[in-house]
Structure 1
Amino acid sequence: MSWDIAFLRGINLGKRQIKMAALAACLEASGYAEVRTILASGNIRFRHRGDSEATRIELESLIETQFGFKVGVIMRSEAQIRLMLAEHPFGALDPAADLTCHVLLFQAPLPTGLTLEGIAGHTEILRVDPREIYIAGYRQPNGRYTEGVDAVLKPLYARLGRDVLGTMRNWNTVQKVIP
């Protein structure tokens, strides 16, 4: 049985706090095996027999029941994460550049032919895949890396609507979700 990975959207912000140990215990009590949380930003690896969409819905329900608020869940299989890693989406970037790499994960497929314009020297859109967008954020004079991401993604969200389920993760985090 392979791993499933759940990326939770919008937790540990403001009053939407979940302790990762409590989250793991909740999943284990519900029959999920080998549950491991990765960092404190809502990344969970586990083994579970079941359809990915059914598991996603079940996780959303479990979290809402246990913690008292709705959380969107974006699922990926171990094979999908391994493929993302193998394709080296950030491999063409200058290794000496002062930047940070992120992936925006969506639960549903994005519109075919979707393109986004980056901001030169600030926020670069490296690739748009069917359910992921790979983004590089360059260090700015104020020391921040991702301030321009909202401006770059604004046209995307205007096109997709507010109900689209997506969440962004640092590439270093994605690299840690598979043992």
Structure 2
Amino acid sequence: MTTTYAALLRGINVGGSKKVPMAELRTLMEGLGYGGVQTYLQSGNAVFGSDHGDEETLAAELAQALDKCFGFTVGVLVRDHAYLKAVREACPFPAAELEARQLHVTYFSGPVDAERFASVDQVAFLPEEFRLGDRALYLYAPDGLGRSKLADTLSKPRLLKGILATTRNWNTVVKLEELTGA
């Protein structure tokens, strides 16, 4: 049975480094035997179908192929439709009332607990806020991610040690859930 997944590539096509043209990404993924490959935006989002492997195996397979093809390491997370839908539905912020640039989800490669972020003084960053979900962190940044002091703090290596993290704005969160469910 074929399952539809989203591949979330971390840190490509940002600031002129780690260039991965989307046409080449689609070709590479098709060469791995994935079906129905589509890319969304230039920032490392792809939707594909596969009848073999699980999320971790597929992520490792794609990361290895990217390294071989482009000559640099790319962090890859793979998530299925059910997970993406659950993340969208579990949003603790009023997504329908916010601009997409104000709401972001950071996807993690594994579970995270409140202890990991206990050193972050949330009150000091108000009105910005974050909440943890299932292998995800929801960030409300009223002035957008680029101006968010909380986002900078949450991305510190000491907080993310041993875990892969990649962030998407709410429009992308919604679109990837829709594309994997189609």
TM-score (norm 1): 0.83
The Cα offsets for residues 41-67 of structure 1, whole Å up to 9 and x where unpaired, read as 101110012222111110001111111
In the alignment, is residue 124 of structure 1 matched against residue 129 of structure 2?
yes
Q: By percentage of residues, which structure has more helix?
A: 2
The Cα offsets for residues 81-132 of structure 1, whole Å up to 9 and x where unpaired, read as 11112224322x68267961000111111135544443112x211x212410
Structure 1 equivalent of residue 104 of structure 2: 102
> For 1:40 and 1:168, how far apart are their aligned partners in 2?
14
- How far 1:30 sits from its partner (Å)? 1.7
Structure 2 equivalent of residue 87 of structure 1: 90
Structure 1 equivalent of residue 59 of structure 2: 56
The Cα offsets for residues 144-171 of structure 1, whole Å up to 9 and x where unpaired, read as 75431344315x642442x421111101
Structure 2 equivalent of residue 27 of structure 1: 29
Identity between Structure 1 and Structure 2 (%): 32
Q: Select 1:134's aligned residue among 134, 138, 148.
A: 138
* Closer/same/farther in 2, CA of residues 45 and 27 from structure 1, 3 Å limit: same
TM-score (norm 2): 0.82
Unaligned runs of 5+ in 2: none
- How far 1:11 sits from its partner (Å)? 0.3
Aligned residues: 171
> For 2:86 and 2:98, how far apart are their aligned partners in 1?
25
In the alignment, is residue 158 of structure 1 matched against residue 155 of structure 2?
no
The question of whether the paired residues in 1 share the 8 Å contact of 2:37 and 2:48 is answered with yes
Query: Is 59-68 or 144-153 further displaced after alignment?
Result: 144-153
* Closer/same/farther in 2, CA of residues 96 and 25 from structure 1, 3 Å limit: closer
